[in-house]
Structure 1
Amino acid sequence: MHDFVLMAFAGALIIGLTAPALGIYLVQRRLSLIGDGIGHVALTGVGVGLLLDRSPVITAVVVSVLGAVAVELVRERGRTSGDLALALLFYGGIAGGVVLVGLSENGGNVSLVQYLFGSLTTTSRQELIVIAILGAAVLAATLGLRPALFAVCNDEEYARVSGLPVRTLNLVLAVTTAVTVTIAMRTVGLLLVSALMVVPVAAAQQVTRGFRATMATAMAIGVLAAAAGVVVSARADTASGATIVILAIAAFVLLTVGGGIWRMVRHRVSAGTATDPAGAEPPDVVLRAGV
């Protein structure tokens, strides 16, 4: 197997594992679309990297982190609404990115498309090393700080009363989101990265109960979708990022339908065991069920 295929496969697995691990917090906090906004800011970082002839991944990480921290501070102070802050991210980020990419000598439509929609086969060994290091850091934060991050995302006021460093945890969440979006741009692209952060979580919620079980299942779905997406895209000659997202959505549909059928069957079975052959419910059964 060629080296570039192995690197593409490794990069996809890293993102498939990392994106849902962070995405579950964003879903819990009802910020599912924030990845799109930060993705547009990352495009400005790509333009800065191309303009200065530096690694676009590194510059995109720096610019995305600064943008995410700025939005979090603005949201915390309440000087503008969350929707307005995201709109500024969307429009300002993509406009700045297009302008800077156009000004760079290494820019052009080909480079821009690679970052917007992903291009696993063009990922270099150096970029893969950076992706692996940053992915490990995101996993360490999302797994190591799971109880505290869950508390903040579930009820920020209760977390503050409990003595948790809410501002610090919010900034950690913003920074890890920016890093995840940036390292995923070479896998699924900046326009599709939010789907890989949200769809596996939504799929896992159809068949699990509890935060820990949902997180583990979402990470498993993300890894399977990423691995299968690389294989399918290589065989069918399709875009790897779009293929990964489509497979994740297919998993969501299958689990939604399968979960609905299972709940319906279980309900009918439980209803059947609670009635006699004539269809009447004995009083003692009802009494015991209510205890």
Structure 2
Amino acid sequence: MLDKLILYMGFPFVRYALIVGVLIALCSSLLGVTLVLKRYSFIGDGLSHVAFGALAIATVLQLTNKMIIVLPLTILFAILLLRKGQNAKIKGDAAIAMLSVGALAFGYLIMNLFPTSSNISGDVCSTLFGSTSILTLTKADVWACGILAVIVILIFILFYNRIFAVTFDENFANAVGTKVNLYNLLIATVIAVIIVLAMNLVGSLLISALVIFPALSAMSILKSFRSVTIFSAVSSMICALVGILISILAGTPVGSTIVAVDCILFGACYLIGRIKG
């Protein structure tokens, strides 16, 4: 098994997958804590389906750089969801559910009405579950994820107190002079970019797992916001690394394997939390 792992590590696409997987897991988990506490844990799933619909449009238009459509649309819907919040006529959870189902159906309908290849089912499966796209990453993708990870970490370090305030009590934060809308805009933009990049790793249907499970695992055994954030980030990176390695050795789908490892970690942390009381 060790010889097989060493053999695979000699391929650039395997190293790229490991690096990108760990970096995306780090970014997703940091923002995941905030989204879970703001009761927007399902936003990752909704935005990933928006990205799927936008990707279907870009595919039909045969654009060379699909991010021209996918990224702006995903950021736009993220901003609309997070800025409106509970003040909208359609509440946050209902809006996300409508967006998720509608965008997924719309994207699949477009791909069937205007097929660009003979294997529509394979294209849809790859986009939804990330079955093969993680193995086609380029050096540019690795650099993009590296820059993104640095930006997310810097945002958390520089604006930690304000993100903390906006996460727990927007009304109080607004009363003491914090620009709540600005920081919600910042959070929405970053999470949208992460979700678009994460589609290459786990696919549209499994992205929310990278956001939710590490945060919930940390909350099961820890109490402070800082400790939960740190534990979530570290455990998410370890799960991504272990999941990708298992996928390489066992030949299992990358995205599903990473999510399975996250589920196992959550189960262990939940039991530890119950034992500790």
Interval of TM-score (by shorter of Structure 1 and Structure 2):
0.7 to 0.9
The structure showing larger relative contact order (alpha-carbon pairs under 8 Å, at least 6 residues apart) is 2
Tell whether 2:72 aligns with 1:62.
yes
Per-residue CA deviation, residues 66-112 of structure 1 (Å, 9 max, x unaligned), is 11122334436523222332133112211232234342525822222
The residue type equivalent to 1:256 in the other structure is Y
Residue 112 of structure 1 aligns to a residue whose secondary structure is: helix
Query: Which deviates more, 228-237 or 141-150?
Result: 141-150
Q: Deviations over 1:244-279 (max 9, x none)?
A: 111011111112223433x26xxxxxxxxxxxxxxx
Pairing of 1:166-245 with structure 2 (within 5 A): 166-245=180-259
Match of 1:283 in 2: none
Candidates 49, 54, 75, aligned match of 1:45: 54
Greater Rg by CA = 1
Letter of the 2:106 counterpart: G
More moved, 141-150 vs 169-178:
141-150
Q: How does 1:101-140 map to 2 (within 5 A)?
A: 101-102=111-112, 103=114, 105=116, 108-118=120-130, 119=132, 120-140=134-154
CA change 1:139–1:58 in 2 (3 A) is: farther
**What runs of 5+ residues in structure 1 fail to find an aligned partner?**
265-291
Contact 1:47 1:104 in 2 (8 A): no
Say which of 87, 99, 103 aligns to 1:89. 99
Distance in structure 1 (CA, Å) of the matches to 2:223 and 2:85: 31
**Could you tell me how far apart the structure 1 residues matched to 2:272 and 2:90 are?**
42
Distance, in Å, in 2 between the alignment partners of 1:140 and 1:109 is 40
Number of residue pairs matched? 263
Q: Distance in 2 between matches of 1:255 and 1:74?
A: 34
Instruction: Tell me if 1:157 matches 2:196.
Output: no
The equivalent residue for 2:261 is 247
SS at match of 1:65: helix
Q: Identity over aligned residues, as a percent?
A: 29
For structure 2, the 5+ residue unaligned runs are: 1-9
Root-mean-square deviation (Å): 2.0
Map Cα deviations across residues 110-131 of structure 1 (whole Å, 9 max, x no partner). 2222221113112233333333
Off by >6 Å, runs of 4+ in structure 1: none
Q: Is the 8 A contact 2:83 2:184 kept in 1?
A: no
Q: Deviations over 1:129-149 (max 9, x none)?
A: 333333433333234322111
